[in-house]
Amino acid sequence: MNDTTQRPLTVGKRLGYSIGAFGDSVGFNIFYFFFLFFLTDIAGIPPAIAGTITLIAVAWDAITDPIIGYLSDNLKSKSGRRRPFMITSAIPYAICMFLLFNNVDFPMGVKIAYFIGVAMLFWTFYTGYVIPYFALGAELTQDFHERTSLRVWASVAIQLSVMLASAVPPLIVDKAVQAEAGWKNVGLAFAFILLIAIFVCWRTLRGSELPHDQVVISKEERTNIFKTIFEIFKLKPSLPLAASIFCWSFTTAMASNGPMYIMSNNLGFAAGTISTFFVLNTLIGIAWLPVINYMSKTMGKKKAYIITMMLGGLLMAMFGVVGITGFATIIIWAALFQFGNSSFWTLYYSMMYDISEVDEFVNGHRREGIVTALMAFCQKLGAAVGTWVTGMVLAAGAYDGLAAIQPESALKAILYICTIIPGLVGALAAVFGILYPLTGDRFEALSRALEAKRAGKEYTTEGFEKLL
C-alpha cells in the first residue's frame, strides 16, 4: 500500500466525503419517510399494493448492487474506479427524484406501472452513485480507527440530511395550494440538493483513490461475478454482518415509515408539529454520535454496535405496550430508536470496510466495491421487506389513506409498525452482531501479516485465526 493512503485524512477530504453522504441519505430517507405515505394518501393506491410497489423497486435495487460493485472494482480509468460512476449517475438520479413524487392522472393500473418503473429507475441510479461512494470510503483510509472517525463525520452529514429530508417536505406541502403541487416541489427541491452534494464530493475527492496498478485486477486473475460473490460470503465476518444489516434495515424502514402515519392519524399532529418532531429526531441522532464514538473507542466497534442496537430495539418494542400517546412519548421513542440507529449507520460501514483486508489476505485482491455492494444488497433487501410488511400490516388493519378517520384496527396497526415489530427485529440484529468475529486486536494482527505478505516476507496468522 502506498504511503499516502496511510497518512491521516485532511479536514478537506473528510468534509468532501461527508458532503457526499447527502447524495446518499437525502434520496434514501425521502423515499422511506414519505414514498409509501405519498402512494397511499396522495396517489390513492391501496396500502398492500403500495407496499408491493416499494418491495419490487427496492428488491430490484438490491439486485443491481453487486453488479455495480463488481463493475466499479474492475473499471480501468485515469479518474479512478469509483468517481466516474458517481458523477455519471448524478443527473438521472436527480430527475428520478423529481418524477417519484408526481401524482400522474392515469387509470389505476397504469398509475401502478408508472410508479414501479420510476421507482426502479430511481434506485438504479441511486445505486450507481452510492455503491462506488461507499467503496471509496474504504480506499480513503486503511486505518481501523480512522475508518470509524470518517464514518462519524459522514454520520453527522447523514443526520443533517435526515433533518432536511424529514422536516422540510411537510412544510413545503403545507405551503402549497394543493398537496399534489407541494409534493412536486419537494421532488424538485431535493433533486437540486442531490446534484450539488454529488458534484462537491466528486470534485473534492479527486485523486484520493488508491493507485490504479495496485487495485485493478488483471483479466487473467479476475473471477466472474458469481464466484466473486461466493468468495466474499465465504469470508467468516461476512455472513453475520450481512444478517445483522438485513435485520436492522428492516427495523429502520418500519421506524421511518411509521412516524408519518402515527402523527397524522393516531396523534392528529399538524404539519408544523410533524416538522418539529423530525427536526428533534435528527438532533437526537446527532447528539448520540459522540457517545457512540466514545463507546467504539473504549470497548470496540463490535461491542458498541451490539449494546446500542439491543437496547434500542428492546426499548422500542416496549412502546407497543406503553403506547405512543403524545409529543413527549414520541420524542422518547425517537431517542431510543436513534440510540441503535445512529450506531448502526456509523459503525456498520466501518465494520464492512474492514472485511476488505480479510478479502485481500485470503483471496489476494482488494474488492471494496463488491464487499460494499453485497452488504448494501442485504441492507436494501431488509428495507424492502420492512416497507412491504408495513404495507401488509396497514392493509390488515383496514387502513384507508383517503379516509378522514381511520378505524381502531388501523390505529393499532400503525402503533405496531412503530414499536413491537421493528423493535424485536432490531434486537435480532444485535444477536447476529455477536457472531461477527472481527475485533480491533484481530484486525491489527491481520494488518501486520498482510503488510508482510505484500512485501513477500514471512508472516504468521497468530492473533487472527478466527477470521480465516
pLDDT reported for residue 215 = 53
Average pLDDT over residues 278-286: 90
**pLDDT for 268-281, tens place per residue?**
999 899 999 999 99
> Mean pLDDT, to the nearest integer, of 343-360?
90
- Name, in order, each residue with C-beta under 8 angstroms of 460's C-beta and a sequence gap of 6 or more: 449
217 falls in which pLDDT band (50, 70, 90)?
low
Of 18-27, 236-245, 308-317, minimum mean pLDDT range: 18-27
Q: What's the confidence (pLDDT) of residue 5?
A: 42
Please state the φ and ψ torsions of residue 406, each to the nearest 5 degrees. Answer: -95, 150
> Would you state the cell numbers that stand for residue 447, as one nine-digit string?
494488518
Q: Is the pLDDT of residue 218 over 60?
A: no
Q: Tell me what the pLDDT averaged over the chain comes to.
A: 89
Residue 1: which pLDDT band, with cuts at 50, 70 and 90? Answer: very low
**pLDDT bucket at 142, cuts 50 / 70 / 90:** confident
Range of 78-87, 165-174, 212-221 with top mean pLDDT: 165-174
Q: Which of 231, 181, 260 is nearest to 361 (CA)?
A: 231
- Per-residue pLDDT at 9: 77
CATH of 10-207+224-437 given 1.10.10.10, 3.40.50.1820, 1.20.1250.20, 3.40.50.1220: 1.20.1250.20
> What does the pLDDT read at residue 6?
52
pLDDT in tens, 49-91: 999 998 899 888 888 888 888 888 877 777 778 889 999 999 9
Percent of the chain scoring above 70 in pLDDT: 96
Cα separations in angstroms, 177 against 1, 174, 184: 58, 8, 12
The pLDDT assigned to 213 comes to: 53
> For residues 135 and 368, is the Cβ–Cβ distance under 8 A?
yes
Residue 61, pLDDT score: 84
Q: What contacts 24, CB < 8 A, 6 or more positions away?
A: 126, 129, 130, 133, 134, 158
| pLDDT at 365 exceeding the cut of 70 | yes
pLDDT at 304 exceeding the cut of 90 = yes
**Residue 212's pLDDT band (boundaries 50, 70, 90)?**
low
pLDDT for residue 75? 77
pLDDT of residue 337: 96
